[in-house]
Amino acid sequence: MIRVNDVIDKISDYHPGADLGIIERAYIYSARVHEGQVRLSGEPYLTHPLEVAGILADMKLDVISVVAGFLHDVIEDTHAVPEDIEKLFGPEVRHIVSGVTKLSSLTFHSSRARQAESLRKMFLAMADDIRVILIKLADRLHNMRTLQFHKANKRKTIAKETLDIYAPIAARLGIYWIKNELEETSFKFLQPDEYNRIQTLVAKSRTEREKYMQTVKDYIQKKMDEAHLTCEILGRNKNYFSIYNKMISQNLPFGEIYDIIAFRIVLDSISQCYEALGLIHSMWKPIDHKFKDYVARPKPNMYQSLHTTVVGPFGERIEIQIRTRDMDRVAKSGIAAHWSYKEGKRIDENISEKFAWIQDLVENQENFRDPGEFLENVRIDLFQDEVYVFTPRGEIKTLPYGATTVDFAYMIHTEVGNQCTGAKVNGQLVPLAYELKTGDIVEITIAKNHHPSKDWLKYVKTVKARSKIRYWIKTQEKERSISLGREMLEKAFRKEKLSFNAMLKTEQMANVGTHFGFKAVDDLVANVGYGKITPLQVVRKIAPKKEPQADPESIFNKLVGRVVRKKRLKDGVLVKGVDDILIRFGKCCQPVPGDSIIGYITRGYGVTVHRTNCVNALRLTPERQIEVEWNQEASETYPVKIQIVSHDRVGLLADVVGNISKFGANILNASSETRDNKMVDSYFTIGVEDTTHLERILSAVRKVKLVQDVKRIG
């Protein structure tokens, strides 16, 4: 069992100037609050925080991390409160211990494989300090080392969770020694038979393997010596879990002892690494696609190394890693290297820089060969765009940040969304607009005849919820339109001494539907209700009349036919100091009395009048500018182009025209375009006396039914 002095010794080794007093105080505090508690092993509880602190010291982490390691269980398991921790050890320790406690409160009800990725993300998302994760890893490592004291089924659950969640996180953070140990112990508890079998096989071939390892090392050493390269050559056995996986995935029997050995050459400089690589390749033939240059392209977790697989002296495959001493150090501690000390100093003093580094990784994801490999998962504190919540049965759902209980309900099922009446979060009733937080357990209550509300659209965040709510509202509107359309049609048919209901199911009616482009007669009826088709149009299809029906085109023709010819306009403007001069108006901006205007002298054409804010006018040279003003006494009309945006409906144009004429304005030109979304843009050029006259017309047209927007253009 480790003692507090061992932890202190480790720290003074890698960080001579460290504040050892705070370590001792954390130990004493932990001992006091955990007093009387016993682990399943029968040992005092204190052994656990001590071991965890020891692991953190093995990772050469900063004093704060080790202190938090001693205290990591005190909020959860003792009467201690966060305020106590802050008072005694400062806000940073409190923050980290609270983070660890928050993560511990997460129960991974189910760790099915398809959920594992979300669980890992959720795990990382909940920690806003990387040290929280490092402490959780150390905590899990020690718990795995003492797993035998649990009951058999509990062992399996914990081992499975370790394999699904913790080992991949350790790998993604580049802390491979923790990853290996977690995998190995999980494997041992999950598949004891397989584990023992491989253990026996490996043990049996041990002598033979050691001999082989020495042979290969000698070959390499000789080659390096010839080139005067100083290096360290290591041979290591792969872990049982990866041997097992290789046997499973490649369907191989255990026989090739070479397959379980990997070699590593550690040198001083990068150029030596490449030189060594060249020498290896000149000695043994490389297998092409197996070469990976993680020196030129480091892995996102900073891992650097040259990887190659060659055909060895006995025709076997040999895996070799080549790296510098520095790269070796990083490969051993991964992201933890950022929180460790080097030569008594922290590598990075600035915490925010570290997070910037992680952010950098995320942003440069596309530069890595295998972007799917880690990246999303190294994002600490960067998952702000997502929240992870549980269903009452423990399934994880991922929603965008700001999503509400209604979004959650729709994510479960459309009907759950449509019928949701309320929600409970962590057992408490909350409003439907409640914004979900990571870790929430969400329960939705539904009622059979309950329906979505338009109000929900104000706060839902997901596309699914939004579109389902809209769809429901639209369907409701359609039902209303069908009953309205039916009434209108019945009336119109009666006028022609026909019965709409009798004809409803006939082929003739179906043909009318097809004529207007509808598959179902219901759609035709609904469109009559919406006002897109008049009942008369339908009647005429069934019982045609002699005289030609009014067609929208002819309305325009009639309108334009009433155009009054433009009068000469020059009298409306006075040019300062000049009496008789040819005046024209800019077509671009069509000034009207009341507008502020400016004149421009155009060679041979007199003066052109523009609105002062006209884009074209602003481009003209100031030397040609001349002051002009409106002649108050002139009674003229001036052309102005207006645009009307509206929903398509029968009778729209007539209403617009009526409103323009009401104010005595002439329509000089009219045209319209229907857009894809059933909106119509109508353009009218009208003759107005001045801006007041124009404003009156515009506001009258704005009040026309289904008109969305009216504005002067040009």
Smallest gap from residue 354 Cβ to Mn ion (A) = 25
Q: Which is nearer to Mn ion, 143 or 321 (CB)?
A: 143
**Minimal distance, residue 16 CB to Mn ion, in Å:** 29
What's the 3-state SS for 475-542? HHHHHHHHHHHHHHHHHHHHHCCCCHHHHCCCHHHHHHHHHCCCCCHHHHHHHHHHCCCCHHHHHHHH
The CA distances from residue 405 to 121, 161, 429, 441, 601, in Å, are 21, 28, 11, 11, 67
Closer to Mn ion at the Cβ: 78 or 481? 78
Q: Which helix (H) or strand (E) holds 626?
A: strand 625-626
- 686 forms bridges with which residues in the sheet? 640, 667
Tokens of 566: 């433009």
Q: 3-state DSSP call for residue 571?
A: helix
What are the strands of the beta sheet with 638-647, ordered from one edge? Answer: 666-674, 679-688, 638-647, 707-713
Q: How far is the CB of 34 from Mn ion (least distance, A)?
A: 11
Q: Is 51 in the site for Mn ion (CB under 5 A)?
A: no
Yes or no: say if 83 and 91 are a contact pair by the CB < 8 Å rule.
no
> Minimum distance from CB of 142 to Mn ion (Å)?
7
Of 81 and 543, the one with the shorter C-beta distance to Mn ion is: 81
415 to 434, contacts with Mn ion by CB under 5 A? none
Nearer to Mn ion, 139 or 689 (CB): 139
Compute the least distance from the CB of residue 407 to Mn ion, in Å: 35
> Cα(85)–Cα(98) distance, rounded to whole angstroms?
10
3-class DSSP state of 262? strand
Q: Do residues 704 and 659 touch, judged by C-beta distance below 8 A? A: yes
- Which residue number, 129 or 139, has a Cβ lying nearer to Mn ion? 139
- The closest residue (CB) to Mn ion is 139
Region of 72-80, 235-243, 483-491, 679-687 interacting with Mn ion (CB under 5 A): 72-80
Question: For Mn ion, which stretch binds (CB under 5 A), given 68-76, 243-251, 358-366, 512-520?
Answer: 68-76
Residue number with CB closer to Mn ion (98 or 205): 98
The pair phi, psi for residue 652, each rounded to 5°, is -60, -50
Q: Which of 77, 128, 373, 655 is catalytic?
A: 77
| Cα 689 from Cα 594, distance rounded (Å) | 9
Whose tokens are 């099922």? That residue is 413
- Told to judge if 225 belongs to the known catalytic residues of this protein, a careful annotator would answer no
Choice between 21 and 36, CB closer to Mn ion: 36
**In the complex, minimum distance from the CB of residue 52 to Mn ion, in angstroms, rounded to a whole number:** 6
Minimum CB separation of residue 135 from Mn ion in Å reads 9
CA 700/CA 692 separation, integer angstroms: 13
Place of tokens 């090392």: 217
Residues 165/120, Cβ–Cβ less than 8 Å? yes
- The answer to the question of residue 129 lying near Mn ion (CB under 5 A) is no
Residue 650 main-chain phi, psi, to 5 deg: -70, 140
CA distance 565 to 588: 20
Number of residues that bind Mn ion (CB under 5 A): 2
Residue 112 CA, distance from chain mean position? 23
Instruction: By CB under 5 A, name the one of 139, 440, 595, 636 that touches Mn ion.
Output: 139
Closer residue to Mn ion (CB): 76 or 627: 76
Question: Phi and psi (nearest 5°) for 90?
Answer: 95, 165
Q: Measured from the CB of residue 340, what is the shortest distance to Mn ion in angstroms?
A: 21
Contact region with Mn ion (CB under 5 A), list: 124-132, 137-145, 225-233, 344-352: 137-145
The helix (run of H) or strand (run of E) holding residue 430 is strand 428-430
What is the spatial distance between Cα 123 and Cα 121, in angstroms, rounded to a whole number? 5
Residues 661-692 as b/e (b if ≥16 CB within 10 A, e otherwise) read eeeebbbbebebeeeeeeebebebbbbbbbbe
The DSSP symbol for 695 reads H
Provide the minimum distance between the beta carbon of 139 and Mn ion in the complex, in angstroms, as a whole number.
4
Instruction: Name the one range near Mn ion by CB under 5 A: 71-79, 311-319, 413-421, 677-685.
Output: 71-79
Token couple for 555:
């309305």
Q: Which CB sits closer to Mn ion, 73 or 129? A: 73
Q: Is position 73 an interface residue for Mn ion (rule: CB under 5 A)?
A: yes
689 is catalytic: no
Q: Closest by alpha carbon to 668, among 590, 582, 573, 596?
A: 590
Determine contact, residues 701/660, Cβ cutoff 8 Å: yes
Cβ proximity to Mn ion, 139 vs 164, nearer residue: 139
Residues 246-285 that bind Mn ion (CB under 5 A): none
- Shortest spacing between CB 438 and Mn ion, in angstroms: 21
CA separation (Å) from 257 to 227, 234, 262, 311, 538?
A: 30, 17, 11, 14, 86
* Residues contacting 400, CB < 8 A, separation 6+: 385, 386, 387, 407, 461, 462
Smallest gap from residue 205 Cβ to Mn ion (A): 38
Catalytic residue chosen out of the listed positions 9, 13, 19, 76? 76
Nearer to Mn ion, 97 or 573 (CB): 97
Residue span binding Mn ion (CB under 5 A) among the ranges 65-73, 272-280, 546-554, 677-685: 65-73
Which of these ranges, 67-75, 403-411, 535-543, 679-687, lies near Mn ion under the rule CB under 5 A?
Answer: 67-75
Closer CB to Mn ion, residue 181 or residue 373?
181
Choose the binding region for Mn ion from 136-144, 284-292, 359-367, 640-648 (rule: CB under 5 A). Answer: 136-144
In the bound complex, what is the minimum distance in angstroms from residue 33's beta carbon to Mn ion?
13
Token pair of 465 as six digits: 């919820």
Interacting span for Mn ion (CB under 5 A) from 69-77, 305-313, 401-409, 592-600: 69-77
The SS3 of residue 346 is: strand
Residues that bind Mn ion (CB under 5 A): 73, 139
**Which residues are tagged catalytic?**
76-77
